[in-house]
Chains A and B, each alone.
Chain A
Amino acid sequence: MPTLIDLRRRIQSIKNSQQVTQAMKTVATARYKKAHRLVIERRPFWHLFPEVAISLTKALNLSEHPYLQVRRENKLLAVVVTSDKGLCGAFNSNLLEKASRFLEQKKEGSEIKVIPIGKKAVNYFKNSPYQVERSYFDRVEKKIPEISLDLGSWIDYQFTFQRFDVVYVLYNEFHSIIAPRITLTKLLPITSEKDTSETPEVSYLEPIWEPEASRVIDYLLRIYIHNQVEHFLYESQTSEQASRMMAMENASRNAGELISDLVLLLNKIRQASITRELLEIQTAVEALRQQGV
């Protein structure tokens, strides 16, 4: 049976941990609110932009644009987005597990290169058989605009010169605060996924292009990659904060439960020792009385 002093120490130490987790939760909540607002405001553009791009490119056979060329997936690039810091539940481990399963699948017949973003992914891919092309880590959340410009132009260059045939992105999309949605998307080449379900629009009029189609599309696709990279970095950041918020809330709650259990035990022991002492005194008094003192 633990002594009272041990129990008191344990309770105090758990209380301290609880304070830390509560503070972290408060911080994560504030960051989450900020990030969430930004994501909600920008989502219409992120979602409509590829849609418009796809519908425009479908209108014309423009396979001469480098982004639209579908080649055999011989050289594959995977961008994996995680967080820099831990303490956010299964946020990173689920994503990395999915990433390794996906790459395992694709290993047959294609040469795989990886761009990890965030310290967790960087560490993970250090010990993997895949070649790391470049990586971004350390305060990623503060440098999203710079990273998306840099990575965007790099991917643009590499893809245009056919160093890669296909570019996949794996990230946590913000879905709800309970759990993020792990999303795997094909960044390049741009293809419409719902080709069969979508019926061609019944319009016997050919659209007017102003200026000519190739220029409109060129103009549109110029910011495509940069915009999409920004999209998945912001989504990942928001879901990271949401996951951390949930993880810290759970931790605080567990600490609370632990404390109340321990306090109960502490009180029981204290009570028992008081009862024992009382008994001892009682017996002593009884013994003395019998001796006739």
Chain B
Amino acid sequence: MSGEQKASYHLRIISPVRLITDAEVTEVQVPSLDGYLGIWPGHRPLNACLSEGEIIYKTADNREEKVEIKGGIIKVENDKIIILTGINND
């Protein structure tokens, strides 16, 4: 991080059967095990388990979209987010 923050994340949501989302986003909300987490640009690196719920994200052109998932893993790095879904949490 060289002082400048990118204003968006490259978000990929991938289920075992297909690539669900591949987009530039400015804001993501995910269902973590203890409730929803909001992730804005400049978030600290994060690795977390997700529970069943909806991922809500805002794309670069300001549309809000929702994806339903049944558990998964989220990995947040400097400018990209990878969410692997369909890993059942039991």
Contact = CB atoms under 8 A, between A and B. Distances in A.
B23 interface: no
A265 interface: no
Interface stretch (A71-79, A185-193, A212-220, A271-279): A212-220
Given A216-B48, A227-B16, A211 B33 contact: yes
Interface string B10-48: 001011111100000000000011100100000011111
Contacts of B78: 201, 203
Contacts of B19: 41, 44-45
Given A48-B84, A201-B78, A210-B33, A59 B89 contact: no
Given A41-B17, A42-B17, A207 B49 contact: no
Contact of B16 (A42, A206, A209, A216): A42
Interface of B: 1, 12, 14-19, 32-34, 37, 44-49, 73, 75-78, 82, 84, 87, 89
Interface of A: 41-42, 44-45, 48-49, 52, 55-56, 59, 201-211, 213, 215-216, 219-220, 222-223, 227
Contact of B44 (A42, A44, A55, A207): A207
A40 B45 CA distance: 30
B48 A52 contact: no
Nearest to A38: B17
10 contacts: A42-B18, A48-B84, A49-B84, A56-B47, A56-B75, A201-B78, A202-B1, A203-B77, A206-B45, A210-B49
B53 to A, nearest CB: 15
Given A45-B84, A219-B73, 5 more contacts: A41-B18, A52-B73, A55-B75, A203-B1, A203-B45
Contact of A207 (B14, B17, B47, B73): B47
B74 to A, nearest CB: 9
Given A44-B19, A45-B14, A201-B77, A210 B48 contact: yes
A188 B45 CA distance: 27
A59 B47 contact: yes
Contacts of B87: 219-220, 222-223
Contact of A220 (B12, B33, B73): B73
Nearest to A59: B47
B47 A213 contact: yes
Nearest to A205: B44
Contacts of A203: 1, 45, 77-78
A203 B76 CA distance: 12
